Amino acid sequence: MTAPLLTINDMSIIFTSPDEPDIEAVRQVDLTLTPGKTLALVGESGCGKSVTARAVLRLLDRNADIRTGEILFEGEGGKVDIARLKPDSDAMRAIRGAQVSMIFQEPMSSLSPVHTIGDQIDEIIILHERLTPRQARERTIALLDQVGVPGARERANAYPFELSGGLRQRAMIAMALACTPKLLIADEPTTALDVTTQAQILDLLRQLQDDYGMAMLFITHDLGVVAEIADEIAVMYLGDVVEQGDVFDVFRAPRHPYTQALMNSVPRLQRKAERERLSPIKGNVPSPKDRPQGCAFTSRCPFAFEPCADTRPARTSLPGDHVARCHLLTRTRAEAMA
Amino acid sequence: MLRFITTRLVAMVLTLWAVSFVAFAIIQLPPGDYLTTYMATLASNGDRVDPAQIDALRRQYGFGEPYIVQYWKWITGILTRGDFGQSFEWKAPVTTLIWGRLGNSILVEGLAVIVMWTIALPIGIYVAVKKYSLGDYLATIGGFIGLAIPNFLLALLLMYLSFVWFGTTIGGLFSPAYENAHWSIPRLMDFLSRAWAPVLVLATAGTAELIRILRANLLDELKKPYVTTARAKGLPEWKVILKYPVRVALNPLVSTIGWLLPALVSSSVIVSVVLNLPTAGPLLLRSLTSQDMYLAGAIIMLLGVLTVIGTLISDLLLAWIDPRIRYGSK
């Protein structure tokens, strides 16, 4: 097994506000990213996926605080704990864009409306590789060409509003890959696109990953997209990573009740006679301030029993690289031992 | 871009025509005319007026004719001969009266605009980035004081203080020695030694307002995703802010440059009276009270021209800095 590129251990992120109680948006995140592999981070809206991703680049707002845990990154200059770096420090900025880069959800609002896309891509190349503007532009054109922007030389002089959503997202990807990063974080890059464009962008990302050998952290709430692109999957619920493992293992045999419920809520294409009703997950996601002390899923879990509400389940290793946090797993094991 | 400019130019000419028509109508609105005011003044001084002489004057100036005919004479005079008519009160052609005054106005108020932007820009950016910091609160308090103090009061205060502290009176734009001299280094120094006070007075309220607007605009822009993108590239924070959100936040401000000049001219009347400045404001006020219609008409007309040119300039600037406008007009 290759050495991990990025390891997040027991990270919690707390948002403070002067007139409200603190909110623990991320309570317990453990993630491991391997070079050349894609990890899909899955969960409902507001479960802390994006916050986790932004924490890796230290792009969180000033009122967010990484209270505990570490983000260990195997960078060019050796291992660094990103959680300990200052957000605007030279060390952090040397990582951003050069070693870890990010693609955002909304390609329109994530590109500056008043600068050409060429200008916005040149900038990152000039910043990290110290090329002349002319050399940078040549590289930009090559990149745009590589991500499948037709007429790259002319399109480099276009403004974002002159391009379609798919082309904008391609430009965004070209920008993220400009300095050949080791890790690409994609925060719902296909959510704002229509389905055919979505498939093209996923193909492109997979192909680029083969070319560059980078690790990818792919955030989505769409299990179809996960099946399409991911090697590994991590499932988040209300600030906790509840299960992580190989995508086939997890899809075939989800071990955490939340993951199981999530799989059951996906519609399958079946003949009319065989169709079943979807089984949605009971109840609603509680707000982080009503979160149970123990497992966050307790309030909606059909199997909840007495330790769930108060004791946080431990990380249980399962066959393969599969881990989950659920009391059921330790109980069955304890019963088997008895 | 060429088409953009052409449409703006055509619109500009039409606007100016409308402005001239309305301006001429407005100066004729008050009952009576210059001669009635003139007679009233003479009568109040106890002088006797010869009605025959008044009638002759009235015919000479064409006061009895219908509005359209008077307007036609006035506008053709301006367009063909550059002749804005006679000032009754000053007994001189309007053109000789207003150019110097208008020049002074543009000079002083242009300087005020420059001062306004140079002060407001860095402060506005600072207070938006450091929202709710001590500096933000200080700037807010200072800004509200600047907005709340009437300009003429500030002018009086400056006059008083400069007299008490430096023993000099500020007022006017030039010392008598340089009043009618040609521009030279000593005259420029003389001008600057006097002009700082009116420029400062005129700039205060505008600066405070500009800081508030820039702060609000920038606070909106700082939250936009493209700022995060710029940060994710690894740019230093100051560069992120100056290159992206500030650039976008300036758009609405640039579009107001056009109105600044006329707004300053009309708001500076009282300050100009207090500080005894030879600018266009007091001249306009005088001509309106004495119904010196051609003089008033010329000033209003030229202010209109300034506004329209200012708007054109700000439109062009806006099209230059914001591609969405440039391409939207295709």
* A-to-B residue pairs, Cβ atoms closer than 8 angstroms: 77
pLDDT at residue B280, as a whole number: 84
Q: φ and ψ at A186, to 5 degrees?
A: -115, 110
In a domain, A171, yes or no: yes
CA distance, residue A215 to nearest chain B CA (Å): 17
In a domain, A25, yes or no: no
Contacts of A159 in chain B (CB under 8 A): 323-324, 327
Contacts of A93 in chain B (CB under 8 A): 234-236
Residues facing residue A219 across a β-bridge? A41, A187
The answer to whether the CB atoms of B229 and A113 lie below 8 A apart is no
CA dist., res. B284 & res. B246, Å (int): 39
CB burial of residue A132 (10 Å; 0-12, 13-18, 19+): exposed
Tokens of A280: 């949605």
Q: Residue A94 is nearest to which of B234, B237, B321, comparing CB atoms? A: B234
Side-chain-side CA neighbours of B158 within 13 Å: the count stands at 22
Residue indicated by tokens 């060019």: A76
pLDDT at residue A133, as a whole number: 94
Contacts of B224 in chain A (CB under 8 A): 109
Residues facing residue A100 across a β-bridge? A96, A183
CA angle B232, B236, B240 (to 5 degrees): 70
Structural domains of chain A, count: 1
Residues of chain B with pLDDT under 70: 61, 328-330
For domain B100-328, the question of CATH label 1.10.3720.10 is answered with yes
DSSP string, B265-301: HHHTHHHHHHHT--SHHHHHHHHHHTT-HHHHHHHHH
CA angle A16, A17, A19 (to 5 degrees): 140
Residue indicated by tokens 């009116």: B198
Would you call A25 helix, strand, or coil by DSSP?
Answer: strand
Residues facing residue A317 across a β-bridge? A323
Is A102 an 8 Å CB contact of chain B?
Answer: yes
Looking at this predicted complex, what is its ipTM?
Answer: 0.87
pTM of the model: 0.81
Q: Residue B226 is nearest to which of A95, A98, A112, comparing CB atoms? A: A112
Non-local (6+) Cβ contacts of A50 within 8 A are: A187, A188, A219
Which residues span the domain enclosing A119?
113-179
Q: Which amino acid would we find at residue B252? A: P
Contacts of A109 in chain B (CB under 8 A): 224-226
The answer to whether the CB atoms of B233 and A109 lie below 8 A apart is no
Cα distance between the two ends of chain B: 8
Residue in chain A closest to B320 (alpha carbons) equals A114
Is A248 an 8 Å CB contact of chain B?
Answer: no
Is B322 an 8 Å CB contact of chain A?
Answer: yes
Q: Where, residue-wise, is CATH 1.10.3720.10 in chain B?
A: 100-328
Contacts of B325 in chain A (CB under 8 A): none
In a domain, A164, yes or no: yes
CA B164 centroid distance within chain: 31
Q: Residue A111 is nearest to which of B226, B235, B324, comparing CB atoms? A: B226
pLDDT at residue B319, as a whole number: 83
Is A111 an 8 Å CB contact of chain B?
Answer: yes
Best to test chain B binding among A19, A110, A175, A183 (most B CBs inside 10 Å): A110
A186: nearest Cα among A220, A161, A159 = A220
Q: Which of residues 186-245 of B touch A (CB under 8 A)?
A: 224-226, 228-237, 243-244
The answer to whether the CB atoms of B233 and A175 lie below 8 A apart is yes
CA dist., res. A25 & res. A64, Å (int): 9
Q: How, if at all, do strands A6-17 and A64-75 pair?
A: antiparallel
The answer to whether the CB atoms of B244 and A96 lie below 8 A apart is no
In a domain, A265, yes or no: no
Q: What are the average pLDDT values for consecutive 10-residue runs of chain A, which has 338 residues?
A: 86 89 88 93 89 93 90 89 91 93 89 93 94 95 93 93 91 93 93 86 92 93 90 93 92 92 81 76 81 87 88 87 89 63
pLDDT at residue B49, as a whole number: 72
CA distance, residue A173 to nearest chain B CA (Å): 12
The answer to whether the CB atoms of A110 and B321 lie below 8 A apart is no
The answer to whether the CB atoms of A162 and B236 lie below 8 A apart is no
In a domain, A16, yes or no: no
Is residue B321 within a helix (H) or strand (E), and if so which, with residue range? helix B293-321
Residue in chain B closest to A60 (alpha carbons) equals B228
Is residue A116 within a helix (H) or strand (E), and if so which, with residue range? none
Tokens of B269: 């009347």
- How far is the CA of B252 from the CAs of A133, A205, B2, in angstroms? 30, 39, 23
In a domain, A83, yes or no: no
A24: nearest Cα among A57, A54, A47, A53 = A47
In a domain, A168, yes or no: yes
Count Cβ atoms below 10 Å from residue B3 Cβ, excluding itself. 9
CA dist., res. B322 & res. B215, Å (int): 20
CA angle B246, B137, B208 (to 5 degrees): 60
Q: Residue B233 is nearest to which of A104, A127, A159, comparing CB atoms? A: A127
Contacts of A102 in chain B (CB under 8 A): 229, 232
Tokens of B183: 């521009």
Q: Which amino acid would we find at residue A15? A: F
In a domain, A162, yes or no: yes
DSSP state of B49: -
